[in-house]
Amino acid sequence: MSKEENLQCSFCGRKKPETDLLIAGLDAHICDKCIEQAHGIVEEEIAEARTSDLSKDLTLKKPKEIKAFLDQYIIGQDETKKAMSVAVYNHYKRLLQTRGDADEVEIEKSNIVLVGETGTGKTLVARTIAKMLNVPFSIVDATVLTQAGYVGEDVESILSRLLQAADYDVEKAERGIVFIDEIDKIARKGDNPSITRDVSGEGVQQALLKLLEGAVVNVAPKGGRKHPEQKFIEVNTKDILFIAGGAFSGIDRIISKRLNMQAVGYGASVEEDKIDQENLLQYIIPSDLKSFGLIPEIIGRLPVLSYMNPLDAETLRAILTEPKNSIIKQYTKLFSMDDVEFSMTEETLEFIVGKAVEYKLGARGLRSLCEAILTDAMFEIPSSDEKKFRVTKEYAEAKLTKSALKKLRAAS
């Protein structure tokens, strides 16, 4: 027997003829089969370490707990809060899923689209969930996006913002949340063929597809245009949760038309005909988004569709004082930092709500109205000796002059 045939693997004891490859070390040998097994163990250990790191960083709670947290900051919108809680919970369960057997069920991503009028809290819902989960969060305005090669921002700039929010920690960014605002502004401009390309409409939707589905994307670290000499960071979007939001102005007409068409005929039930004309968004279905101008592929990659109820006077009144970070609580805190006791009468609160409803300003308008009323006081009081400041309805009416209201009306 030759000297070579006497060689054996120091781990499993296989002789050289029984192996495909035997690698020699200083005083030992290892065969190809042991290398494969060791590689598998290393991969498993790394995957487990990543999952445990994610478990440590991620504050994951059950859907009811997520909704209870949202209730502290957002008034009403129960249907949306439920849909968001379930979608987010399932998404992060998917991240914590151990990568084991090849035949294991692959859980798909549940990207979300929120439809609602301006000032109803679309962005606030997404921001609050990100705060609770302790993950990177970025808001991107879809109106600035154009197809690659045209004036405007490339779709990849969405991920540049997320990287910045994660302090350029790619692994952290790859499990963040991106809120794409004004998604309705990239709707297809029409079915008529044109000599000019729809580069900020359908072109952007096509470019968004790979991001929403999950792909490895080259991202310019500081955003901006791509050029050949630039260094790129590779980001895998497979585990990034995308939430799209938009006002979809005019979609109520599409819903109304569809509902009226459905109600025609002898088979139409009297019960089904009771349609709430004040809140048509509650009847929204994916085909309405298609009619509005979103391409079917985008709608398919945003499987969770939810709506925001319009805000009535009662909800606006609650928004002023009830949430954890309500507007009145914020002003109370600001004045207390100057040792001033701040309060507002019930009549004043009703007056502010009435103006917000009248000018259809939404929750965002409440802040604008409060600023218009309190700016003079916030300018004068820190330099004075006053220790109490009570806002009456008469004071509020005097501060909200016709010119101030005109300004607010123009902004709405």
DSSP string, 240-251: -EEEEEE--TTH
CA-closest candidate to residue 370, choices 324, 323, 334: 334
Instruction: Look up tokens 């079915």; give the residue.
Output: 191
> If one looks up domain 313-411 in CATH, what number appears?
1.10.8.60
Residue 408 main-chain phi, psi, to 5 deg: -65, -40
All structural domains of the chain with their residue ranges: 1-57, 59-98+107-307, 313-411
Q: Is there a binding annotation on residue 9? A: yes
Q: What is the pLDDT of residue 21?
A: 86
Helices (H), 58-133: 63-73, 78-96, 122-133
Q: What is the pLDDT of residue 330?
A: 93
Is domain 59-98+107-307 annotated with CATH 3.40.50.2000?
A: no
Q: 222 Cβ partners below 8 Å, 6+ apart?
A: 160
The total of other beta-carbon atoms located within 10 Å of residue 103's CB is 5
User: Using CA atoms, how far apart are residues 101 and 296, in angstroms rounded to an integer?
Assistant: 33
Q: 25 Cβ partners below 8 Å, 6+ apart?
A: 10
CA-closest candidate to residue 146, choices 71, 197, 91, 215: 197
Contact 353, 313 (CB under 8 A): yes
pTM: 0.73
Q: What is the pLDDT of residue 20?
A: 84
Q: What is the pLDDT of residue 1?
A: 45
Q: What is the pLDDT of residue 412?
A: 55
Note the pLDDT tens digit of each residue in 223-269: 555 555 567 888 899 889 999 999 898 898 999 888 886 555 555 54
Q: Is there a binding annotation on residue 370? A: no
Note the pLDDT tens digit of each residue in 115-148: 988 778 888 888 888 888 778 888 888 888 876 6
Q: Which residues of the chain carry a pLDDT beneath 70? A: 1-5, 46-59, 98-103, 147-152, 189-200, 222-230, 261-273, 402-412
